[in-house]
Amino acid sequence: MGTKKRQQFIIGVDLGGTNIVVGAMSADGSRSFAARSIPTGAELGAENVADRIVGLIEEVIVDTVAETRAQRSDIIGVGIGAPGPLDRERGLVIVAPNLGWRNFPLRDRIAERLDLPATLDNDANCATVGEWWQGAARGGTNVIGMTIGTGIGGGLIVDGKLFHGSSDVAGEIGHTTIDLNGRHCKCGNYGCLEAYASGPAIATRAREVLVREETASLLPSLVDGKLETLTAETVYKAAQQGDAVANEIVRDTARYLGAGIANLLNIINADVVVVAGGVTLAGDALFTPLRAEVRRRAFRPAVDATRIVPGELPGTAGVVGAVATFKLQHLGTL
């Protein structure tokens, strides 16, 4: 009789303000299955969103069982990545402005409904751990992860461990101050990195230049003259076509991000910095001046010891990372 150990599977959940993404992975991380996505439906309220997550997980379990001929008992748990701040110990989402949640016991709702162990961690932490386990930060010991989208999320791996800090707030890179008297940020502070270099902030800065200056630019034509519909992606597209205004915006973005990263390098002395999210579409036009800015600002030995790289898991870092944080929290190892 073969006594080969059965393969085990872990479900990863990436809960965002717009979409819920759920996928399954083999516990060793070698195979991924059945990624599915539905709108979050935040307006339906926390309990309904939890129902939607459970429903989607059930579908992914059915798909995974069909695809691998596993049994349901081979699914060992669910890792959930959610917008923070969180209380990991109690499994609560403390505040999620995009979802309208306060102190919602997301982890236990999911665990009870599925009768499976579940863990909860911050979505940006999950993305960082995902890149560390399977992506651009593989092999790193001290890692800074940044995900640039609607906001700027961050995660830190210090001495080979995901670093949560004293109350699960560590890694909020987007809300480090880069200008004392700077732009107002959604968090209430002034001059946060996120207020300059998030996707919406990039679009806002481009719009400001177009309104203020009578410079010829491709940008208005790319949005049929409707500047209010201009996004960061429009800026990257125009930059690739050699547009001077768009290139200036990308260069400034690189300088802001570079300053933020230099601050962290002098503190964490990371060996890998992963920059993920839509901003990586700008490619070398972003990364070349970004690395130059970091070189200008951070200590030389810190700069020499690090590599600053784009994320390698666009769209999947959240799910992969949620699986990884389940392993870290529940099994104690990756």
Site residues, Zn ion (CB under 5 A): 175, 185, 187, 189, 192
Q: Closest distance between Zn ion and the C-beta of residue 187, in Å?
A: 3
Q: Closest distance between Zn ion and the C-beta of residue 81, in Å?
A: 21
Q: Closest distance between Zn ion and the C-beta of residue 25, in Å?
A: 33
Residues 6 or more apart whose CB falls under 8 angstroms from that of 58 comprise 114
Which CB, 54 or 187, lies closer to Zn ion? Answer: 187
Q: Where are the beta strands (DSSP E) in 126-265?
A: 143-148, 152-158, 161-162
329's tokens: 């929290």
Q: Closest distance between Zn ion and the C-beta of residue 85, in Å?
A: 13
DSSP letters, 61-87, are: HHHHHHHH---GGGEEEEEEEE-S-EE
Count Cβ atoms below 10 Å from residue 201 Cβ, excluding itself.
Answer: 23
Q: Closest distance between Zn ion and the C-beta of residue 191, in Å?
A: 8
DSSP letters, 26-45, are: ETTSS-EEEEEEEE--GGG-
Q: Where are the beta strands (DSSP E) in 201-322?
A: 272-277, 307-310
Alpha-carbon distance of 211 to 284, in angstroms, equals: 27
Structure-derived torsion over alpha carbons of residues 93, 97, 100, 105, reported in degrees to the nearest 10: 0
Which CB, 175 or 255, lies closer to Zn ion? Answer: 175
Q: Closest distance between Zn ion and the C-beta of residue 145, in Å?
A: 18
Which CB, 55 or 182, lies closer to Zn ion? Answer: 182
Which CB, 135 or 155, lies closer to Zn ion? Answer: 155
Q: Closest distance between Zn ion and the C-beta of residue 266, in Å?
A: 20
309's tokens: 């790289």
User: Alpha helix (H) ranges present in 69-138?
Assistant: 106-114, 123-134
Alpha-carbon distance of 168 to 164, in angstroms, equals: 5
Q: Closest distance between Zn ion and the C-beta of residue 210, in Å?
A: 25
Which CB, 175 or 207, lies closer to Zn ion? Answer: 175
Which CB, 176 or 329, lies closer to Zn ion? Answer: 176
Are 183 and 195 in contact, with CB atoms under 8 Å apart? yes
Which CB, 95 or 210, lies closer to Zn ion? Answer: 95
| Cα radius of gyration rounded to whole Å, the chain | 21
Q: Closest distance between Zn ion and the C-beta of residue 185, in Å?
A: 3
For 27, 208, 235, 256, 291, the CA distances from 243, given in Å and listed in that order, are: 47, 16, 9, 20, 22
Residue with tokens 């996004």: 231
Count Cβ atoms below 10 Å from residue 211 Cβ, excluding itself.
Answer: 9
Which CB, 71 or 181, lies closer to Zn ion? Answer: 181
Which CB, 170 or 292, lies closer to Zn ion? Answer: 170
